[in-house]
Chains A and B, each alone.
Chain A
C-alpha cells in the first residue's frame, strides 16, 4: 500500500516537472531580434519602434482614463441575477435552519429539564449536533452573498449601505454573540448546570432572532421602502427599518423557519432510521423523526394565517403590488404553491396515519382515515383550481370565457380560503386522533368532553363554509374581511379542542404502548419528501417576495436598469428553485454526514497481527 502511495507521489512530481519544462521551452521560442551586434551600438528595428510606440500610446490612454462608477457587472453564463438568486437563497435556507433548530432544541431541553426525562435532553443535544457546521455554512454563504452584491450590483449595494449604515455594526456584533452562544451551548452540553445551559440556549435564540430582524429590515425595505425621500435620500433610519412589511415578514419567517427546521431535522432522523442496524437506534430515530415532524406541522398550521397578514400589508402598502401578486404576473405562482401545500398536508396526514400503526389498539381510529383522506383530497383539488384555464380559442368560446362555467367558481379567494381552513382543521383532527391512540380517558366528563370537541369542530367548519359561500354574494371589500373570522374560528377551535383534550386525557388509561421503531420504512421517505417539499416551497415564496418588485431594486425608489430588469417566466423560476434546493440538500447531506461522525468508533491503525487475521492469503496456514 505504502509503495503505491510513494509511486503516485513520484508520478505527480514527474508530471509537474514535465509541465514546467514544456512551458519554459515554449516561452523560449518567442520571437527575438537577431543578435548582430551589441544592443547599444545598433539602431532599433522598425518592429521595436512600433512596439515602443504602441506601449507609449497605451500608457497615455491608461493615464487619461476617467474613473467611472460601475452600476452593474456581468456574471458569466447564468447572469448576475441568477447568481445572486442562488447564493441568497442558499444563505437564507441555512440561516433559517440555524435559527430554527435552537428554538425547538431549547423547548425540548426545557421539557427534559422539567420532566427529568433524559431522553428529551439527548434528543435536544442530537438536534444541536447539526448546528455548528450549518452555522459555518450560513456565515460562508452570507460573506459570499455580500461579495457578490458588491461586485455585481455595486451602485445598489452602495445605496443600501448608505441607508442602513447604522445597522451594520450591531449586526456584526450580534453575529459574534451568536457564535459565542452557539458554540458554548453545543460544546457546553452537560458541562454546566441545566439552568445555565438553558440560559445559554435562550441567549442563542434571542441573538439569532435579533440578527434576523436586522437582515429582514434590509430586504423588506426593498419591497416597501419607508423613511426616505421621493429621491431616495435617508430621512429616518428607524422608519426604514420598521417599514410596512417588516413585522409581517418577521413573524412569517420565524414560523416558517421553525416548520422548515423541524422538517429538515426530521429528514435527518429519517436518514439515520433507514441506516440503523438495530432496534434501539430505529426506535430512537423514529421518535426523533416524529418530534421533528410534529414541530414542523405545529408551525405549518398557523403559517397560512401569517401569510394572510403579510399579503394584507402588501395590499395596504400598494394595491398595485398586491394585485400584481394575486391577480397579475404572479397569480399562477399561487397555483404551484397550492400543489406544494396540498402535497405537504397530504404527506403530513399520511405520516400520522402510518404512525398510528405503532400503537396497539389504533384500529378504532384507523377507520376514520378514509374520510379524512377524502376531505384532504377535495380541499387540495379546490385550492389548486385556477380561476382561468389555459385553453384554445374554441374552448374559450364553448366555455363563454376563460373561466370554466362551474369550476371557475372554485378559482376565487372565497373557495380557496374555505379549502385551506378546512384542510388545516382536517390535519389537526388527524393529529388529535393520533394523539389519542393507545389511551382511554378516565375522567367522568369524558363523554361530554368528546361531544364538546365535536361541536366545536362542527361550528368552526360551519362558520368557514358559510362565510366561504356567502363571499360570492357580497362586495369585494366585505369578502376580503371574511377571511379574518374564518381564520379566527379555526384557530379558536384548535386551541379550545387542545385544552379540552389535555385535561380529558390527564391520567388516561393506557390501552397500548407506542412501539417506537415499528413503522414502515416508507414513512421515513415521507419525512424526506416533506423536507424537500418544504425547502422548495421556501424557494418559491422567496422568489415571489423578491419578484414582486419587478423592475425595481427598491420599489418606487431605485429602478433596475440592468439587462435582468424583467420578471422571468414561472417555468424558469421553478428551474432555478429546483437547482438551489438540490444544492442545499447536497450540502445538508454533508452536514448530516459530519454530524454522524461523532457516533463512529475512533480510527485505529491495524496491528500486524490484526492484518494477518483479516487477510487469509497472508496467513501462515
Chain B
C-alpha cells in the first residue's frame, strides 16, 4: 500500500516535534516560584539575623545567582567566603558595616579590583530588599569570617532616614 505524501509529511512533523519534546523532558525539571517573603522581627538577635540573612540571600536577594562561596579560579563576581574579615579593610575610612551597606545600596561606587561592574541596586526592583532584610544580610556577611555587630536598630548609610529606633552604623554599641 502506498502511503500518501501528506500523511508522510504529517508523520515527520509529529515525529520531529515529539523528539524535541522528549529532549525537553530529559533535562532537569524545576518550577521557579517568586521569592517567599520572610517575616522579620525588630527583636531579632545576631544569631537569628544571621540565619534570616542567609535565607534572604538564597531566595529573594538572588545573591548566589552571581556570587559564589569558597570557589577558586577565574570568577565573574567576587567570592563571598571570608568577606566578614576583609570588608573593613576594603575602603579606608569605612567600617565593615558601612562598606557592606555601600555595596548593597550603591554598588557602582566601588568595584572590587579585577571585576566588572554589574551588581544591581539591591533595595530597588526587581530585587527590592527592604532595609530590614538588608540588615539581616549584612549580619550574615559579617559572620563569614567575622562576628556580626549589626543590629535591627542600626541606621545604614543609604537607608531611608528616620527609621524608628535606629542608630548610626558606626555609632553606639553596635559599631564594628
Contact = CB atoms under 8 A, between A and B. Distances in A.
A459 B57 CA distance: 47
Classify chain A's interface size. Answer: 35 or more
B13 A585 contact: yes
A551 B18 CA distance: 29
Contact of A566 (B24, B33, B120): B33
A575 interface: yes
Interface residues of B, number: 40
Contacts of A479: 74
A477 B116 contact: yes
Nearest to A555: B126
A566 B13 contact: no
Identify whether the interface residues of B are mostly helix, strand, loop, or mixed. Answer: loop
B66 A319 contact: yes
Given A328-B65, A533-B16, A585-B13, A336 B8 contact: no
A387 to B, nearest CB: 12
A566 B35 CA distance: 10
A476 interface: yes
B27 A335 contact: yes
Identify whether the interface residues of A are mostly helix, strand, loop, or mixed. Answer: helix
- Return the 4 tightest CB-CB contacts between A and B, nearest first: A574-B24, A319-B118, A556-B126, A556-B125
Contacts, number: 127
A532 B29 contact: no
Nearest to B76: A476
Contacts of A557: 125
Given A336-B24, A578-B21, A566 B32 contact: yes
A339 to B, nearest CB: 5
A552 B125 CA distance: 10
Contact of A565 (B34, B74, B127): B34
7 contacts: A319-B118, A324-B65, A339-B20, A557-B125, A569-B30, A578-B18, A582-B13
Contact of B20 (A271, A574, A589): A574
A532 B25 contact: no
A230 B16 CA distance: 45
Contacts of A320: 62, 65-66, 120, 126-127
Interface string B109-149: 00000111011100011110000000000000000000000
A232 B156 CA distance: 27
B5 A271 contact: yes
Contacts of A536: 16-17, 20
Contacts of B119: 319
Nearest to B124: A230
B20 A551 contact: no
A339 B27 CA distance: 12
Interface of A: 230, 271, 274-275, 315, 318-320, 323-324, 327-329, 332-333, 335-336, 339-340, 390, 474-477, 479, 525, 528-529, 532-533, 536, 540, 550-552, 555-557, 560, 565-571, 573-575, 577-578, 581-582, 585, 589
Contact of B14 (A328, A332, A336, A582): A582
B24 A476 contact: no
B9 interface: yes
B24 A571 contact: yes
A614 B72 CA distance: 85
Given A319-B119, A533-B16, A552 B31 contact: no
Given A320-B65, A552-B126, A574-B21, A529 B16 contact: yes
A323 B66 contact: yes
Contacts of A532: 12-13, 16-17
A569 B18 contact: no
B75 interface: yes
A578 B17 contact: yes
Contacts of B74: 474-476, 479
Contacts of A390: 27-28
Of B8, B27, B28, the most chain A CB neighbours within 10 A belong to B27
B160 interface: no
Contacts of B126: 318, 320, 552, 555-556
Interface in B74-114: 74-77, 114
Contact of B21 (A329, A475, A476, A575): A575
B23 A339 contact: yes
A568 B62 CA distance: 18
A536 B119 CA distance: 34
A97 B76 CA distance: 40
Interface string B31-73: 1111000000000000000000000000000100110000000
B9 A332 contact: no
A569 B76 CA distance: 27
Given A315-B118, A476-B76, 17 more contacts: A271-B5, A320-B126, A323-B66, A323-B76, A332-B27, A336-B20, A390-B28, A474-B74, A477-B76, A477-B115, A525-B12, A528-B9, A556-B124, A571-B27, A578-B18, A578-B21, A582-B14
B32 A571 contact: no
B9 A551 contact: no
Contacts of A477: 76, 115-116
B7 to A, nearest CB: 11
B13 A275 contact: no
A536 B77 CA distance: 35
Contact of B32 (A274, A332, A529, A567): A567
Contacts of B62: 320, 324
B33 A323 contact: no
A475 B24 contact: no
